[in-house]
Amino acid sequence: MAMAEKEKPPTFRSRPLTLIYNLPYGKVAKFWEALKEGKVITTKCKKCGKVYFPPQMDCPQCMTSDMEWIELSDEAVLEAFSIVVVRPASFEKYNPYILAIGRLVREDVKISTWLLDVDPMEAAKGKVKVGMKLKLVVREVDPGRPLYYFVPAE
Amino acid sequence: MRKVAIVGVGHSKFGDRNDVTFSELAWESMKPALEDAGLTPKDIEMLVVGNTGMWSEEGLPAVVIADYAGMSDAALIRVEAACATSSAALRTAYHAIASGEVDIAMAVGIEKMREVDTPIVVELIGRAGYYYWEFENFGFTFPAYYALHATAHMAKYGTTEEQLAMVAVKNHKYAVNNEYAQFRREITVEDVLKSRPIAWPLKLLDCCPITDGSATAILAAEEVAKKLTDTPIWIAACEAAGGTANLSKRDSYVGLRAAVLAAQKAYKKAKVGPDQIDVANVHDCFTIAEIMAYEDLGFCKKGEGGKFIEEGQSYIGGKIPVNVDGGLKAKGHPIGATGTSMIFHLVEQLRGEAPNQADIKHGYALAHNVGGTGHYCYVTILKRD
């Protein structure tokens, strides 16, 4: 296609702005502490029994904050996935990664995270399929920062 | 509630608009809208600015636009609903008039996304979900949110990458005649399939571009509208619904619940069904989104969206022409301007002045504007007398 590179119009560079937020986690600190022990826990309303993931300390259904912590099971089924090739600026240091939403069979809650132990290039060729069985694990993709991930169950 | 009509519309050229400032770009659509309505800036009682921001420098967009346009005395408000931002602006203006508070209001949609580098745009738009749980640790991106729906839809209904590509081919074809469109060139299914992956299975040509642009609609109460124009375009319904911030809390990934709910409310309010819609603009930020929109709006049965495009049912001459202005895909998607851009096009259609004119039989047109990934959905139905 014969498209001449258009001359860029004149612009000023603005003053730079760096934004870093402090994200409070005090109310669900137990969740992050449990990850350090290799466990994924979440909250359950003592009144109606609803399991929340991500964990939250308020049940808007019952208008109560009387919640208990439960450990999640690890058996899941893949509901949807994608291979992220074009990464956000703050994720450019990683290789392309596979995003997955899996449904925990026992609790019937869904989790959004990465699917590990599969080459992203192979995932597009049928290695990853909606409906496949997954296992919920705790790993340190970034050393010293344990998080919850899925891996193929078989 | 009073009847409300659209009495003037305007549109800027969409694309890389670093040739103009934020306010200059807004005025590019405000001026023709005022001329279309036969009004001056002093006639506008309320100015509603739809702008998502972050990538542009202005923190108070409504204020700077009003200053530039000589409207600082008007009631000013800025609204945000992600990619449905200016549909939210339209709805706010509509409510102000319907309630009797004001007689004339302007809804301006504007977005200037190209003042920052592309990875920053990917970063900022990826945060448009639940930052804390889905972005901070896992880097969900906007194309990926829709790609999740694509893999689910393909697995459940056998929708193919070729069918996704056909949506892009249609929208590029129609953009050729749209003087405001960012891309005015045709593409083929092969071009789409061969383009580089962004968030597999979505490839570059499955995705809308990063765009600057503005679009404006002027609304008036019934008695005022009838004095201003012989062709008022009535707002028969402007309804909205939301969806969970966490994608993990959705019931399924083969459609958008917010769209289904907003459409049900809009059809009920306007007392019409999908069969009476002559032409529609739907939110095709990614090709899978248009296929899900056919289904969520009832243009075809659930799961048959792929077949619908393959059969050419969304072309002019098909069951219902969709995005015949080029859609977000080829016209471009300045996110805060997209809602009023859809309205601009549908007003042209109902007036019989569109570059790619559909056959108007029943007198109804529908705009489906999704914010985020079904985090918001606005469905507006317009009617001509």
Q: Quick check: helix, strand or coil at residue B15?
A: strand
In this predicted structure, what is the pLDDT of residue A42? 98
Instruction: Report the C-alpha gap between B348 and B344 in whole angstroms.
Output: 6
Q: What's the distance, CA B354 to chain centroid? A: 17
Count how many Cα atoms sit within 13 Å of the Cα of residue B266 in the half-sphere of its side chain. Answer: 33
Residue A94 has pLDDT above 90, yes or no: yes
**B139 φ/ψ sector (left φ>0, alpha ψ -120 to 50, else beta):** left
The CATH architecture to which A73-154 belongs is Beta Barrel (2.40)
Architecture category of domain B4-116+210-228 in CATH: 3-Layer(aba) Sandwich (3.40)
**Domain spans in chain B, listed from the N-terminal domain onward:** 4-116+210-228
Question: Which residues of B fall within a CB distance of 8 Å from A92?
Answer: 119
What was the ipTM of the complex prediction?
0.94
pLDDT digits over A21-53, tens only? Answer: 999 999 999 999 999 999 999 999 999 999 999
pLDDT at B331: 98
Which pLDDT value is given to residue A1? 40
Q: Band of the pLDDT at A6, cuts 50, 70, 90?
A: low
pLDDT tens-digit readout, B4-13:
999 999 999 9
pLDDT of res. A5: 55
Single out the residue of B365, B366, B381, B87 nearest to residue B242, CA to CA: B87
Give the model's pLDDT for residue B367.
99
Task: Supply the pLDDT for residue B70.
Answer: 98
* The pLDDT value given to residue B119: 86
Q: Taking all residues of chain B, what is their mean pLDDT, rounded to a whole number?
A: 97
Catalytic residue among B11, B149, B153, B333: B333
- The amino acid present at B309, given as its one-letter code, is I
Residue among B83, B238, B285, B300 flagged as catalytic: B83
Percent of chain B with pLDDT over 70: 100
Size of chain B, expressed as the number of residues it contains: 385
What are residue B289's phi and psi, to 5 degrees?
Answer: -65, -35
Compute the count of residue pairs across chains A and B with CB atoms less than 8 Å apart: 108
Task: Annotate B173-209 with b (16+ C-beta within 10 A) or e (fewer).
Answer: bbbeebebbbbbeebebebbeebebbbbbbbbbbbbb
Which whole-number Å values give the CA distances from B330 to B179, B186, B259, in the listed order?
A: 12, 9, 22
**pLDDT tens-place string over residues A56-74:** 999 999 999 999 999 999 9
**Looking at the predicted structure, is the pLDDT value of residue B221 above 80?**
yes
Average pLDDT over residues A69-95: 96
- Please say if B368 is a catalytic residue: no
> For chain A, where do the domains classified as CATH 2.40.50.840 start and end?
73-154
Chain centroid offset of residue B376 CA: 12
- Beta carbons of B62 and B123 less than 8 angstroms apart: no
- Residue B34: the pLDDT is 98
Three-class secondary structure of residue B233 per DSSP = strand
pLDDT tier, B166 (very low <50, low <70, confident <90, very high otherwise)? very high
8 Å CB contact between A150 and A136? yes
B chain contacts of residue A147, beta-carbon cutoff 8 Å: 137
**Nearest by Cα to B357 from B275, B294, B279, B281:** B279
Per-position b or e across A98-127, b if 16+ CB within 10 A of its CB: bbbbbbbeebebbbbbbbeebebeebbeee
Q: Does residue B138 belong to the interface with chain A, where contact is any CB pair within 8 Å? A: yes
